[in-house]
Amino acid sequence: MSRSLREVVFVDGVRTPFGKAGPKGLYAETRADDLVVRVIRELLRRNPALPADRVDEVAIAATTQVGDQGLTIGRTAALLAGLPTSVPGYAIDRMCAGAMTAVTTTASGIAFGAYDVAIAGGVEHMGRHPMGEGADPNPRFFSEKLVDGSALVMGSTAENLHDRFPHLTRERADAFALASQQRYAKAVANGQIGPELVTVATRSAEHGWGLATTDEPPRPGTTLEGLATLKTPFRPHGHVTAGNAAGLNDGATGCILAAEEVARELGLTAGMRLVGYGFAGVEPEVMGVGPVPSTERALARTGLTIGDIGLFELNEAFAVQVLAFLDHFGIADDDPRVNPWGGAIAVGHPLASSGVRLMTQLSRQFAERPDVRYGLTAMCVGLGMGASVIWENPNWEGVSK
């Protein structure tokens, strides 16, 4: 029995405003699963042509799967969002690339014919659940020296990357961080960031109910002079600071994926078409370099080159890891194709949710840029991995009408 694979499209993506983790953060007293529920409901509200019972799967990622991020959150969130009980769901974990893996996994099922439509996304409430909460790393990792001791501290892995590539200076990292803040602010002012946000009712025992409508992490007053004064918490006289790294954040994302033919049948608009993807492993102590081999793998398997990519959405866990990627592929630090609306240094990085933020932004950029055919979403992943997904712009002006 032979099968032909189907084309898979990204229909729509939304996210909550991202908040700062901690007792004073936007979502300090808001449950993680309620953030996901809000995202799923908004996806269905914005896409009324999609009957709820046509959703075949819900895959939601979380890095720390305990408490209100546990209990097979894809299934529980689907039920809480009001999807029919016939719609299954599951949880997935690839640390920072959780939502990205939720997308590639369900998309593969769609291509194979197991599903027609799926919802994929991620959530991280780092205020309630710090990364690694309740984890019990096997002592063999260190007793047998399988990994360096710094591998479990993400900031230390970024310092290690500075060591490996000494030309990636703190000054370059700070300049990139400043550009991220400036590009984000400009995108908000232009109305490019904002339409994808879903408002969230927030609760505070002290202040009562509120409404989250905008991202909390951005620092619009950032200057190079201010960045230069920040401490380096992971190493004395180091390079990584709170200014050139993403913060600790709370937030949720979600998207609708469908077989292209099914999207057409239902009257759903395709924001972008999946071309291919790649995941790769690297030494855990320099996990930030992971997107280099994962992108090389994705390019090789799709027959494309880095020169074919017209837009890059790279997750800014740390400025140094984006710079390592850019240097490897011969791309300038200030290339306008890279994170044109800013990145995680400005907007935040709620771990497992971030992959779909990258995709949602790329999809919206495609709509503005019919001159661009291919785009890349990529990120480094804790414990030494990289994740890269290549997309095609259905609005590309070179396509035959």
Angstrom CA distances, 162 to 159, 232, 358, stand at 5, 13, 25
Residues 6+ apart with CB under 8 A from 124: 32, 62, 63, 64, 69, 249, 250, 251, 252, 350, 351, 352, 353
Class of domain 8-131+247-273: alpha beta
Average pLDDT along the chain, 401 residues, taken 10 residues at a time: 88 98 95 98 98 98 95 97 98 97 98 97 96 90 90 94 96 98 98 98 91 97 97 96 98 98 97 98 96 98 98 98 98 98 98 98 98 98 97 87 46
Q: What is the pLDDT of residue 152?
A: 87
pLDDT in tens, 180-220: 999 999 999 999 999 999 999 998 888 899 999 999 999 99
- Tell me phi and psi for residue 124, to 5 degrees: -150, 125
Residue 191 neighbours by CB under 8 Å, 6+ apart? none
User: With contact defined as beta carbons under 8 Å apart, do 307 and 278 qualify?
Assistant: no
Two tokens, residue 71:
């209990």
The set of catalytic residues is: 96, 349, 380
**The CATH homologous superfamily of the domain defined by 147-193+274-391:** Thiolase/Chalcone synthase (3.40.47.10)
Tokens of 35: 């953030």
H or E element in which residue 125 lies: strand 117-125
Task: Kindly state the tokens that stand for 294.
Answer: 């994962």
Give every CB contact of residue 4 below 8 A, 6+ residues apart in sequence. none
What is the rounded end-to-end Cα distance, in angstroms, of the chain? 34
pLDDT given at position 322? 98
Give the chain's largest Cα–Cα span: 65
338 strand-pairing partners? 312
Q: What is the DSSP string of 371-399?
A: T--EEEEEEEETTTEEEEEEEE-TT-TTS
- Which of 50, 247, 27 lies closest to 155, judged by CA? 247
pLDDT digits (tens, 9 = 90+) for 137-187: 899 998 998 999 898 899 999 999 999 999 999 999 999 999 999 999 999
- Domain edges within the chain: 8-131+247-273, 147-193+274-391
pLDDT at 183: 98
Identify whether the C-beta of residue 10 lies closer than 8 Å to the C-beta of residue 363: yes
C-alpha to C-alpha distance for 249 and 145, rounded to whole angstroms: 32
CA 61 to each of CA 94, 162, 356: distance values in angstroms, whole numbers, following the listed order: 8, 30, 10
Domains 8-131+247-273 and 147-193+274-391 share a fold: yes
CA distance 44 to 59: 15
- Is the torsion defined by CA of 356, 360, 363, 365 positive or negative? negative
